[in-house]
Amino acid sequence: MKIASIQLQINDAQLASDRIKKADQLLDKYAGYDFFLLPEIWMTGYNTFDHYQDEAEPIDGPFVEHFAQKARELNAYLFAGSFVEKSNDHFYNTSILFNRQGQLIASYRKIHLFTYGSEEGELLTRGTDPVTVDTEFGKVGLATCYDLRFPEQFRKELDHGAKLFLITSAWPLTRLAHWELFNAARAVENHCFLASCNCVGINRGVVLGGHSRIVDPRGNVVAAGDENESVVTAEIDLAAVDQIREEFPQLKHRVLFE
């Protein structure tokens, strides 16, 4: 499968419509790829907390409708990153995955909300359930940014059959070393591929880290971005997961504690 991580630049002068237009342009440029990723709350800007509730949408709103159509046009799986979802009186950081036909095959509400210098945990309601979903290539697990620091979530997705983790993010440059570490660790400890998509630019004074990456089940970085807007691409084969797990059967040696 050919996979492309769209590392968008975010700045405070952009309108949501401009960001969507730019994302569409980059997606169209890589038409023919099988799988696309976009970053976390990129339409609003993760750190633009005062816009969260005003720009929130239901799961069947314009944001989801637009990228359902885009997945159909591309004939590709599209992990459209996350947006602020409004459901009744609650708001969530919700990421969405479409299949080639533009069907919404998975939505994931971020479980680990960030509270360190962030209003996310005050404004949003956390999700409760890890999410995995079948694709024609194999089962994938979804996660968002801060989730990377919590290996238990990825173990649960592994136990549900995941062979590829998809990460949407707005990780800051100040903690780039942690980002690189956790991307590799979550892949190698679970013998899974991992593809992440992070923002670049400056949003409400926070410099975003970029360095989106695609990591193989041995923890090797197959492809990575830098601190500029770019598209990170690779061709991977999820069949390699079974082979690697058989060659080095660490997962068979797990001791499960109650």
Question: Looking at the annotation, which residues are catalytic?
Answer: 40, 110, 145
The rounded Cα 24 to chain-centroid distance in angstroms is 17
**205: phi > 0 → left, psi -120 to 50 → alpha, else beta; which?**
left
CA atoms within 13 A on the CB side of 58: 5
Task: Determine the Cα–Cα distance for residues 193 and 243; give it in Å rounded to an integer.
Answer: 13
Query: Kind and range of the H or E element at 22?
Result: helix 16-29
Joined together, the tokens standing for residue 210 give 């970029």
SS3 content of the chain, % helix, strand, coil (to 5): 30, 35, 35
Degrees to nearest 5, angle at CA 225 with 45 and 239 = 105
Concatenate the DSSP letters of all residues of 127-159 into one string: P---EEEEETTEEEEEEEGGGGG-HHHHHHHHH
Phi then psi dihedrals of residue 219, to 5 deg: 85, 5
Please state whether beta strands 9-11 and 206-209 pair in parallel, antiparallel, or not at all (unpaired).
unpaired
For residue 144, give the nearest of 164, 171, 115 by alpha carbon. 171
